[in-house]
A and B are shown apart, each in its own frame.
Chain A
Amino acid sequence: MPESPAVLARESAVFTRYLAGVSTTPYVTQAYARCHPTMPALAKGVPDRFDRFLVRVATAGGPFTRIADAYARRVRPTGLLRQKLVLMCAVLESSPPAHDYLNTAAAGSVAATVVRIGLAGVTSVLATLAGVLLLGPAHLALRGKGVAA
């Protein structure tokens, strides 16, 4: 079943903010939406309930996006949420308003860079731990559940 324009618009807004820290644009939303039919996770049939659950959590925005993404990276690295985020990254790096951000470096000294990497790593680990605590139970509950809504 194709996803509704309203759902995709919401994803576009949340994922653009998450990946590039800016507001989405009608162009980004339109490009993101029109690329969905060729996304492998959707092209091969309806994704399972846990995949769709992860997308719903991520779309709540704020810290939930990162927690769902970090957890998905561990347990569903090729699943629906990761594919949607990769698609959004591809759209953002190719067009305004975020291509400059994605294609520049975080400039600074080697020491500042090491600190930056450390912080990103720690935040990701914390997000993964939060994912295990918050999403792990749902993962167990939905394990083996098919595609029914």
Chain B
Amino acid sequence: MTHVVVVGSGASGVHFALTALERGHDVTMVDVGLERPAPVEPGASIEGMKDRLADPAAWFLGEDGRNVVYPATKASYYGFPPSKEYVFKTPGAFRSRAEQMVPVFSFAQGGLAEAWTGGAYAFGPTDLAEFPFGYDDIAPYYAQVAERIGVGAEPDDLAQFIPCDAPYLPPLPFDPHSAHLVARYQRVRPALQQDLGFFLGRSRVATLSRGHRGRQGCGQLGRCFWGCPNESLYTPSYTLRELRQHPRFTYKPGLLATHLEQDAGARITAVVARPVDGGDPVRVQGEAFALAAGALPSSALVLATHHAHSGEVASLEGLMDNRQVHVPFLTPAMMGKEVRTASYQFHLLAFGLTERDPAEYVHAQITTLKAAAVHPIVQGLPLDLAGSLGIFRALRTGLALANVNFHDRRRAESRVTIVPRPDGPAELRISYVDDPQEEALVARTLGRVKKALGRLGCVVPPGMTRVLPKGTSVHYSGTLPMTRSDGGRFSCTPEGRLRGWSNLYVADGAGFSFLPAKNLTFTLMANASRIATALA
């Protein structure tokens, strides 16, 4: 059996590690590993918390108000609350610079998916056409991960685009607005499908509708965005907790990996890491190594390893990220209804739009407004704040957002490289160049989205649709792609091993060969598990 060292405890790292352990290997995980704060008032609903906490404003807005979203400031587009700040903190020694992209990094236990919204979509055969393996090869791993994390789904009109054959749990109940949209869809379904290629169904979500593997079913507390206290919404730190109970697992948090050491025969011998609290670099030795630091940091580690050994600064092509467009809309029939803030907050519906090229399938999730931070919304309305609040309260139960995702392909112009630094880890340089074809696809699609929403009885207010900058979807991938034939030292075999090294595996999105419009994390987890089974 092999001693395998994994870098990173995100969605990719924990499922790679769990499968490696299950197959009898010893696993050491090197991680920066910032910790999540303990949940407060676990049984309280979102509004209940505001009554129960001694200092609720500090909990929601930060002790000094730093999480208030002010008009036109450069606040994060998500406006994350203090309880999620640990997810996005970066260690001082980590440096990056990006052009035409706004990348987000996580150095938390569990990584970025500690803040995700749980959308868990299997890639279908078309999505995998450019990967060096097919749906049948990865399907058992979707099933395995679905069982581990608990995904709610049921066959519907989207099943032809999003395979639905894993052991899924019953889905969460619809909120009244989502139920209304589904009822409308049933009435106009044939026309929507034929005229517009529009298909509506449930979003597949990693949130438990009932208790599963020691975690509770969703208690409809409405705190999802602030962090689910019931552990109903899956995050990878739960799998990390499971790993840490395993006798053959060693967790080494507090370490920022800078590069890997190799011998003369292109065999990696150790991960070199700096303690984030200071001190001398440490070496973590092993027999096989897996990179799961997130596609961008993993790319930096490969480039720094190559530089340490050859003195050459290389670059990696093919960086991908989904374009996301936010389309807010109003369902007039739902206006003036009772607000239920104590209800599941994230998307319960998804829709797909077919394109002539099936690989260009467009995927979107619909989030109806339930619990929400009000001040970031009302400040954007074109009236005084009291008037805006009045209008917001009148419209509130009719408001929703479609988050529309577009595919991306590996292109040579979008790349990452490093700038070595004598006094610390190399700086990561990211340069993303927009696909010139994308604008036309986005414009065409948005026209169809508006028409489809119109037929569902919804109104898309003019001027409020936002094409988000690249980086926002946080679906980074493609820099160390798996290829069928030899694509050079920075490409991976179908089993995820980097061809330039005999024992180095890429377990995260860097290894993706194509990025369909569907959110990728479920596939990250399934693929990481698939790669772990390839370890000798």
- Which residues of A approach B to under 8 Å, CB–CB? 18-19, 27, 31, 34-41, 65-66, 69-70, 73, 77-78, 82-83, 85-87, 89-91, 93-96, 99-100, 102-110, 112-113, 116-117, 120-121, 123-124, 127-128
Which residues of A sit under 8 angstroms from B378, Cβ to Cβ? 89
Partner of B336, one of A38, A69, A94, A108: A108
- CB atoms of A112 and B61 under 8 A apart: no
- A51 → chain B, closest Cβ, in Å? 13
- CB atoms of B61 and A94 under 8 A apart: yes
- CB atoms of B50 and A38 under 8 A apart: no
B371 at the interface (CB under 8 A from A): yes
- CB atoms of B64 and A83 under 8 A apart: no
- CB atoms of A127 and B64 under 8 A apart: no
Q: Beyond the given A31-B58, A95-B50, could you list 5 further A-B residue pairs with CB under 8 A, ordered by the A residue number?
A: A77-B71, A78-B72, A90-B61, A90-B69, A99-B50
Partner of B64, one of A27, A34, A102, A109: A34
Report Cα–Cα, A86/B70, bound state, in Å: 7
Partner of A127, one of B59, B333, B374, B384: B384
Which of B2-10, B17-25, B348-356, B394-402 makes up part of the contact surface?
B394-402
- CB atoms of B57 and A105 under 8 A apart: no
User: Which residues between 251 and 300 of chain B lie within 8 Å of chain A, taking CB atoms?
Assistant: none
Report Cα–Cα, A39/B61, bound state, in Å: 12
* Interchain residue pairs with CB less than 8 A apart (24): A18-B386, A31-B57, A35-B61, A35-B68, A37-B64, A38-B64, A65-B386, A83-B70, A86-B70, A89-B374, A89-B385, A90-B65, A91-B57, A103-B374, A105-B393, A105-B396, A106-B390, A110-B333, A116-B394, A117-B390, A120-B387, A121-B383, A123-B387, A124-B387
Closest B residue to A41 using CB positions: B70
B332 at the interface (CB under 8 A from A): yes
- B386 → chain A, closest Cβ, in Å? 6
* Known A-B contacts A104-B339, A106-B336; A78 and B371 likewise in contact (beta carbons under 8 Å): no
Report Cα–Cα, A83/B63, bound state, in Å: 18
* Known A-B contacts A93-B375, A94-B50; A105 and B65 likewise in contact (beta carbons under 8 Å): no
User: Which residues between 339 and 384 of chain B lie within 8 Å of chain A, taking CB atoms?
Assistant: 339, 341, 371, 373-375, 378-379, 382-384
Report Cα–Cα, A135/B254, bound state, in Å: 57
Closest A residue to B75 using CB positions: A40
B129 at the interface (CB under 8 A from A): no
Which residues of A sit under 8 angstroms from B47, Cβ to Cβ? 99-100, 103
The 10 closest A-B pairs by CB, nearest first: A35-B65, A124-B387, A31-B57, A70-B384, A120-B390, A124-B383, A94-B60, A69-B384, A78-B72, A113-B336
Which residues of B sit under 8 angstroms from A70, Cβ to Cβ? 383-384, 387
* Known A-B contacts A102-B374, A106-B394; A82 and B339 likewise in contact (beta carbons under 8 Å): no
Which residues of A sit under 8 angstroms from B194, Cβ to Cβ? none
B337 at the interface (CB under 8 A from A): yes
* Known A-B contacts A69-B386, A100-B47, A107-B337; A40 and B395 likewise in contact (beta carbons under 8 Å): no
B66 at the interface (CB under 8 A from A): yes
B39 at the interface (CB under 8 A from A): no
- CB atoms of B386 and A40 under 8 A apart: no
CB 8 Å contact bits of B129-145 with A (1 = contact, 0 = none): 00000000000000000
CB 8 Å contact bits of B54-86 with A (1 = contact, 0 = none): 011111111111101111110000000000000
Report Cα–Cα, A144/B382, bound state, in Å: 25
B468 at the interface (CB under 8 A from A): no
- A126 → chain B, closest Cβ, in Å? 10
Which residues of A sit under 8 angstroms from B62, Cβ to Cβ? 38
Report Cα–Cα, A41/B69, bound state, in Å: 13
- CB atoms of A90 and B375 under 8 A apart: yes
- CB atoms of A96 and B51 under 8 A apart: yes
Closest A residue to B46 using CB positions: A103
- CB atoms of A66 and B64 under 8 A apart: no
- CB atoms of B387 and A127 under 8 A apart: yes
Which residues of B sit under 8 angstroms from A121, Cβ to Cβ? 383, 387, 391
B181 at the interface (CB under 8 A from A): no
- CB atoms of B66 and A38 under 8 A apart: yes
Closest A residue to B74 using CB positions: A40
- A124 → chain B, closest Cβ, in Å? 4
Partner of A89, one of B339, B371, B389, B390: B389
- CB atoms of A85 and B60 under 8 A apart: no
Closest B residue to A82 using CB positions: B71
Report Cα–Cα, A29/B374, bound state, in Å: 19
Which residues of B sit under 8 angstroms from A100, Cβ to Cβ? 47
- CB atoms of A39 and B389 under 8 A apart: no
- B391 → chain A, closest Cβ, in Å? 5
- B365 → chain A, closest Cβ, in Å? 23
Partner of A73, one of B66, B332, B341, B383: B383
B338 at the interface (CB under 8 A from A): yes
Which residues of A sit under 8 angstroms from B396, Cβ to Cβ? 105
Which residues of A sit under 8 angstroms from B336, Cβ to Cβ? 105-110, 112-113
Most chain B CB within 10 A, of A37, A94, A113, A120, is at A94
- CB atoms of A66 and B51 under 8 A apart: no
- CB atoms of A66 and B57 under 8 A apart: no
Closest A residue to B65 using CB positions: A35
Closest B residue to A15 using CB positions: B385
Report Cα–Cα, A100/B51, bound state, in Å: 10
B101 at the interface (CB under 8 A from A): no
Which residues of A sit under 8 angstroms from B308, Cβ to Cβ? none
Closest A residue to B71 using CB positions: A78
- CB atoms of B383 and A120 under 8 A apart: yes
Which residues of A sit under 8 angstroms from B337, Cβ to Cβ? 105, 107
Partner of B65, one of A39, A78, A96, A106: A39
Which residues of B sit under 8 angstroms from A95, Cβ to Cβ? 50, 56-57, 60
B433 at the interface (CB under 8 A from A): no
- CB atoms of B391 and A94 under 8 A apart: no
Report Cα–Cα, A36/B57, bound state, in Å: 13
B102 at the interface (CB under 8 A from A): no
- B401 → chain A, closest Cβ, in Å? 17
- B54 → chain A, closest Cβ, in Å? 9
- CB atoms of A91 and B61 under 8 A apart: yes
Report Cα–Cα, A66/B63, bound state, in Å: 29
